[in-house]
Structure 1
Amino acid sequence: MTNIICAIIALLGFQLAIAQGPEIKVDMVASNWNVSEETRFEKFDNRETLVLNGGRITVKDQKFANGTIEVEVYANTIRSFAGITFRKQNNDMEEVYMRMHKSNQVDAVQYTPIFNNESNWQLYREKQARVSFKKTGWNSLRIEVNNQSAEVFVNDKKVMTIDKLRTEHNTGEIGLFALFPNRFSNFRFTPKEAVESTKKDSIAPVDPAIITKWEITKSKPYKAEEIHYENFLEEEYITVETEATGLLPISKYIKKSSSGNFEQNEEDYIVASTTVHSDNDETKLFSFDYSDRIIVYLNGKVLFKGNNTFRAKGIQYMGHIDINTNKLYLPLEKGVNNIHCVVIDKANGWGLIAKLE
């Protein structure tokens, strides 16, 4: 019996060794990182540190799929963002960051996918958390990744669950992100095998009124005087699908001509089109939202112009989107009706969501 118990213990230990690899510590020295001009390495507080003045930096020769990523960030009350990027492939990646100046506010920690080098936090209002940061010393950020979900911890307290990672990547590079200067230390990660969840995904039924497919054009620099409905009919369109909620993250499909520079970007636009078939002349309710700005056409006529830009309605205005924010009564004609939406964006999330009731 003793031999059997020992064999079981040995087997469990072997399986655990397979399931979880050793922790990999990435020292804060230039030889470990794909450095940029915005990076410097300094001895500080009796430890090696990396100071990132802005942008993103990745670890050399390392890929990450599942497991734990951890870093410590020195306390900072001046406006700044500091976080972790993972599963990076080209200019798409997952990103979680602490807004160090937003301690104890509802958006102190945020998650966003990065598509084509563009942040999309405005589109994922539910993926943020109220967190109190330490005012002195080091704040730890830890992300535990399992398949297409993740959990976020700040100073060892769980602050957020991400039920679905939006890039849908299975692996990629890992690294750090900063907007304005931040000091990082003690970066490490522990690879683990993914564990299949025994809990079924609790995805709410999709409202049948939601528009789940759009035809969209390529991106162009926005110039108001060049927007003419007649030109929309000559454009080439591709068919794209929304997320289950109806959200269309445009940067996932379209690369902007000016990207990656936040509010320093120039404005770009695409045209998103859908058709509505009606058996009779009738009126239907069109509920929608967008980021940043929009012009809505029905059968060639402008029905709506709106501005939902970050800070457009005050210093604290975030520009988040919600499908029930804007409502239009569309006078549909018998037969085929064409809706065209000119969606204009500078930064922080290029999106459209709509339903026709």
Structure 2
Amino acid sequence: MIYQFISPDIWKKKVMIRFIFSIFTLLSFQSTIAQNLETKINMVPSNWNYSKEATFEKFDNRETVLLNNGRITVKNHKFENGIIEVDVLANGSRSFAGITFRKQNENMEEVYMRLHKSNQVDAVQYTPIFNNESNWQLYKEYQALVSFKKIGWNNLRVEVKNKVADVFVNGKKILTINELKTNQDRGEIGLFALFSNRFSNFKITTTNLLEQKIVDNDISTNSSIINKWLVTKSKLYNEEKFNYKSLYNEDYVEIKTERSGLLPISKHIKKSSSGNFEQNKEEYVITQKNIHVDSDQIKLFSFDYSDKIIVYLNGSPIFKGNNAFRSKGLQYQGHIDINSNKLYLNLKKGNNTLHCIIIDKANGWGLIGKLD
């Protein structure tokens, strides 16, 4: 048997190293627990940023807030990743009730229940809010059929993981948002109601995920999709006074589309009238696409838009359309699809210019197109 002699100094150093390692491990574990701690935000005025749209009161043996046409946010709280949930009182009247998160000024993510739409395909919707404008018409893939409780409370839960969010209603997963549309990875958190809804039991659980900076979507690899447009500033629209001769005299800036080819105009252009849904005034931008061909030819332009459009080719009008919410009936939503409209463009040899006048009131200001 061989005995190894360890000096007292070395032994003390080893003990100290093990002690420090144990403390570090314990602190790391406690930090992880702290960052995953569920926090209940009581429905009392001192916890919320609000104005006259909110009334805090006891109801059904709960602390509640009755929210009428507006948004409120939690005081002194910034949210990045985690779980947000709230109970909403059953409501058969036309109303919208939801959660906003990563709010920075007038831009945010929003998920809401349309409680009067129980058992319909658009009972729950997601929309990014750009410059105080909802954009649900542009993202028809992010809605879901849900059967709401007619009595009692419906629970809405959103689990946010970097650019992805899963949505649950009454414990059942009903929707995955695989690409949150703002470029914000952190911001305020709160509640949203259109018309009147009562909320209770608001909870936040933060999660410790690896940092992942949210960036603009990659450009489409489909060469036929138009992935850049020249766009003007927004102006109030008056059909009688609109001067088509100004098409070539405007100041334009180049804007990239999302990977799908969608140009969400409100994300880049701020209106003078926003946030009032169909009570907004109509505003317009002019978009421009330069097309160069080596010989006279015909190209197929497939496109869609919201709300209205006038298309010009080389200064001549060739199409006018209206795709606004309820423009073709009470149930017409005005969603957009790149294959909804088709025009054959008679292009001359050399440079050609395609202009699209995009006119909008609310619910999604957008353009999408491709050239085949």
Q: 1:21 aligns with which of 36, 47, 53?
A: 36
Structure 2 CA distance for aligned equivalents of residues 233 and 56 of structure 1: 41
Give the counterpart letter for 1:123 in structure 2: L
Structure 1 CA distance for aligned equivalents of residues 162 and 168 of structure 2: 17
Indicate whether 1:76 and 2:91 are aligned. Answer: yes
Q: 1:133 aligns with which of 138, 148, 168?
A: 148
Q: 2:238 aligns with which of 218, 223, 226?
A: 223
Q: How does 1:139-154 map to 2 (within 5 A)?
A: 139-154=154-169
User: Alpha-carbon deviation of 1:12?
Assistant: 8.9
Q: 2:78 aligns with which of 47, 58, 63?
A: 63
Q: Counterpart of 1:257 in 2: which secondary structure?
A: coil
Structure 2 CA distance for aligned equivalents of residues 190 and 12 of structure 1: 21
Closer, same or farther in 2 for the Cα pair 1:216/1:327, shift >3 Å?
A: same
User: Alpha-carbon deviation of 1:234?
Assistant: 1.5
User: Alpha-carbon deviation of 1:21?
Assistant: 2.8
Closer, same or farther in 2 for the Cα pair 1:212/1:205, shift >3 Å?
A: closer
TM-score (norm 2): 0.90
User: Alpha-carbon deviation of 1:93?
Assistant: 0.1
Larger Rg: 2
Counterpart in the other structure of 1:183: 198
Q: Counterpart of 1:107 in 2: which secondary structure?
A: strand
Structure 2 CA distance for aligned equivalents of residues 326 and 180 of structure 1: 35
User: Alpha-carbon deviation of 1:351?
Assistant: 0.3
User: Alpha-carbon deviation of 1:296?
Assistant: 0.3
Structure 1 CA distance for aligned equivalents of residues 36 and 302 of structure 2: 49
Indicate whether 1:275 and 2:290 are aligned. Answer: yes
User: Alpha-carbon deviation of 1:230?
Assistant: 1.6
Structure 1 CA distance for aligned equivalents of residues 27 and 123 of structure 2: 40
Give the counterpart letter for 1:39 in structure 2: A
Q: How does 1:242-261 map to 2 (within 5 A)?
A: 242-261=257-276
Give the counterpart letter for 1:189 in structure 2: I
TM-score (norm 1): 0.93
Give the counterpart letter for 1:82 in structure 2: A
Q: 2:317 aligns with which of 277, 302, 311?
A: 302
Give the counterpart letter for 1:130 in structure 2: L
Q: 2:62 aligns with which of 47, 61, 80?
A: 47
Counterpart in the other structure of 2:366: 351
Structure 2 CA distance for aligned equivalents of residues 298 and 149 of structure 1: 40
Contact 2:57 2:65 in 1 (8 A): yes
Bigger CA drift: 16-25 or 63-72? 16-25
Q: How does 1:276-291 map to 2 (within 5 A)?
A: 276-291=291-306
Counterpart in the other structure of 1:93: 108
Counterpart in the other structure of 2:3: none
Q: Counterpart of 1:271 in 2: which secondary structure?
A: strand
Q: Counterpart of 1:321 in 2: which secondary structure?
A: coil
Give the counterpart letter for 1:48 in structure 2: E
Counterpart in the other structure of 1:200: none
Q: 1:331 aligns with which of 343, 346, 349?
A: 346
Partner deviation per Cα, 1:249-278 (whole Å, 9 max, x = no partner): 000000011100001101000001010001
Give the counterpart letter for 2:32 in structure 1: I
Partner deviation per Cα, 1:41-70 (whole Å, 9 max, x = no partner): 110000110000111111111100000111
Give the counterpart letter for 2:49 in structure 1: N
Give the counterpart letter for 1:137 in structure 2: G
Contact 1:148 1:168 in 2 (8 A): no
Give the counterpart letter for 2:110 in structure 1: E
Counterpart in the other structure of 2:180: 165
Q: Counterpart of 1:232 in 2: which secondary structure?
A: helix
Structure 1 CA distance for aligned equivalents of residues 127 and 150 of structure 2: 25
Counterpart in the other structure of 2:12: none
Q: Counterpart of 1:227 in 2: which secondary structure?
A: coil
Which structure 2 residue ranges, 5 or more long, are not aligned?
1-17, 213-217
Structure 2 CA distance for aligned equivalents of residues 236 and 205 of structure 1: 26
User: Alpha-carbon deviation of 1:332?
Assistant: 0.2
Give the counterpart letter for 1:43 in structure 2: K
Q: Counterpart of 2:278 in 1: which secondary structure?
A: helix
Which structure 1 residue ranges, 5 or more long, are not aligned?
198-202
Partner deviation per Cα, 1:82-107 (whole Å, 9 max, x = no partner): 00000000100000000000001000
Q: Counterpart of 1:18 in 2: which secondary structure?
A: helix
Q: Counterpart of 2:336 in 1: which secondary structure?
A: coil
Structure 2 CA distance for aligned equivalents of residues 77 and 36 of structure 1: 26
Structure 1 CA distance for aligned equivalents of residues 111 and 80 of structure 2: 16
Structure 2 CA distance for aligned equivalents of residues 233 and 337 of structure 1: 12
User: Alpha-carbon deviation of 1:22?
Assistant: 1.4
Contact 1:81 1:99 in 2 (8 A): yes
Bigger CA drift: 223-232 or 268-277? 223-232
Partner deviation per Cα, 1:190-234 (whole Å, 9 max, x = no partner): 11112589xxxxx99732100000000000010012222221212
Q: 1:120 aligns with which of 135, 138, 161?
A: 135
User: Alpha-carbon deviation of 1:244?
Assistant: 0.3
Give the counterpart letter for 2:101 in structure 1: F
Alignment: residue pair count: 346
Contact 1:110 1:129 in 2 (8 A): yes
